């Protein structure tokens, strides 16, 4: 899957060079040819290598044909695979969902599409869930700089450790969360999009915990990679919108990568995430991902503020 994520990330950058158009999905979220193409690449590999495994992925072919971009998607996929693929083949890969297997792959082919369109951060995210546990994850972050590398892939999981390597190639290097336990030095990450993040709540939390390391807004699951690599300590997803439930594909890869690096992830009440409820995390609201050392202080402040 590391090799598949590398190809998917390459596809995103190739489409970007053409000045990608943002199309609107049913719920108004933007989507691009790169979202569809990256999903085809990733699910094509899953369909071949692990055909039975269940797949929970963000995009579906209905949106591709609705916008009439199947030809463009097939061309982008052909470009990275280095061989011709038909529109039908690509549409079938996008809709591949496995065959009832007990292992589940959670796939967000292009997380942070708004960031991608703005020229900011985005991530290709693939997480593997076994028995309700995020056991392995790969995050391709073409615009993230970590450990002196520009454009990285961060991968790993509990029991495996977590590693960073340049998307352009090179050997993996082990990474770990920071040991910062002093709130005055802790750095907090949130969404760029105000509607995804509730800036007012986050500011209240920063004041309540006395988080003094600065607030950095970045798009996508790249936030998990940043905490895993020790360049930030706290990532919070508030629960401002009562209707919103977190999506499995926005977190599965990140949870595996962060726990493999020594971090911790719960919901905002401190409860473990239930990853067995399908695409939506219906049993949890809000989310807290930290280096571990900062976890309890943030949970206590949330409990006091609500």
Active site residues: 35, 113
The entry of ligand AMP, Mg ion, none that residue 241 binds, CB within 5 to 8 Å by partner kind: ligand AMP
Angstrom distance (rounded) from CA 178 to CA 293: 9
Among 19, 169, 195, 242, binds ligand AMP (CB under 6 A): 195
CA distance 205 to 210: 8
Q: Which positions ≥6 away from 291 have C-beta within 8 Å?
A: 177, 178, 179, 180, 227, 230, 233, 234, 262, 263, 264
Q: Is 200 in the site for ligand AMP (CB under 6 A)?
A: no
Could you say which DSSP state residue 277 is in? S
Helix, strand, coil percentages (3-state) for the chain, rounded to 5, are 35, 25, 40
For the segment 241-280, give every residue that binds ligand AMP (CB under 6 A): 241, 244, 247, 250
Residue 297 DSSP SS3? helix
Number of helices and strands (H, E) in the chain? 11, 14
Angle between helices 70-81 and 87-94 (to 10 degrees): 90
Please give the size of the binding site for ligand AMP, defined by CB under 6 A: 13
User: Site for Mg ion (CB under 5 A): which residue of 35, 53, 95, 108?
Assistant: 108
CA dihedral 74, 168, 191, 280 (to 10 degrees): 50
**Which range of residues in 92-100, 157-165, 187-195, 202-210 is near ligand AMP by CB under 6 A?**
187-195
Decide if residue 95 touches ligand AMP (CB under 6 A).
no
Q: Which is nearer to ligand AMP, 50 or 244 (by Cβ)? A: 244
Residue 128 CA to residue 48 CA, distance in Å, equals 16
What is the number of residues in the chain? 306
- Of 4 and 85, nearer to Mg ion (C-beta) is 4
Residue nearest to Mg ion (CB): 111
Is there binding between residue 70 and Mg ion (CB under 5 A)? no
Question: Which one of 14-22, 32-40, 44-52, 111-119 is the stretch in contact with Mg ion (CB under 5 A)?
Answer: 111-119
Minimum distance of Mg ion from residue 109's CB (angstroms): 9
Total interface residues for Mg ion by CB under 5 A: 3
Q: How far is the CB of 251 from Mg ion (least distance, A)?
A: 9
CB-wise, 95 or 111, nearer to Mg ion? 111
Range 249-278, binding Mg ion (CB under 5 A): 250
Site residues for ligand AMP per CB under 6 A: 111-112, 191-193, 195-196, 219-220, 241, 244, 247, 250
């Amino acid at each position: 899957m590391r090799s598949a994520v590398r190809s998917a990330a390459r596809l995103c950058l190739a489409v970007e060079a053409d000045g990608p158009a943002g199309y609107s999905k049913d719920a108004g979220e933007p989507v691009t040819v790169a979202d569809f193409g990256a999903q085809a690449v990733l699910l094509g590999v899953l369909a071949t290598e692990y055909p039975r495994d269940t797949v929970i992925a963000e995009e579906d072919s209905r949106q591709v044909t609705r916008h009439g971009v199947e030809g463009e998607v097939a061309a982008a996929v052909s470009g990275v695979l280095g061989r011709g693929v038909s529109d039908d083949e690509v549409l079938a890969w996008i809709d591949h969902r496995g065959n009832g297997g007990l292992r589940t792959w959670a796939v967000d082919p292009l997380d942070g599409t708004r960031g991608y369109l703005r020229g900011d951060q985005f991530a290709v995210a693939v997480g593997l869930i076994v028995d309700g546990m995020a056991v392995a994850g790969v995050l391709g972050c073409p615009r993230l700089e970590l450990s002196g590398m520009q454009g990285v892939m961060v991968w790993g999981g509990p029991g495996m450790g977590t590693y960073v390597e340049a998307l352009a190639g090179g050997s993996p290097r082990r990474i770990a969360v920071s040991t910062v336990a002093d709130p005055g030095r802790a750095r907090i990450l949130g969404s760029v999009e105000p509607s995804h993040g509730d800036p007012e709540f986050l500011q209240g939390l920063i004041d309540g915990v006395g988080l003094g390391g600065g607030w950095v807004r970045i798009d996508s699951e790249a936030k998990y990679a940043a905490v895993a690599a020790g360049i930030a300590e706290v990532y919070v997803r508030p629960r401002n919108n009562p209707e919103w439930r977190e999506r499995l594909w926005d977190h599965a890869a990140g949870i595996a990568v962060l726990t493999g690096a020594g971090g911790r992830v719960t919901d905002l009440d401190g409860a473990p995430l239930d990853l067995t409820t399908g695409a939506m995390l219906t049993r949890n609201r809000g989310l807290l991902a930290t280096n571990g050392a900062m976890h309890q202080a943030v949970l206590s402040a949330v409990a006091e503020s609500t």
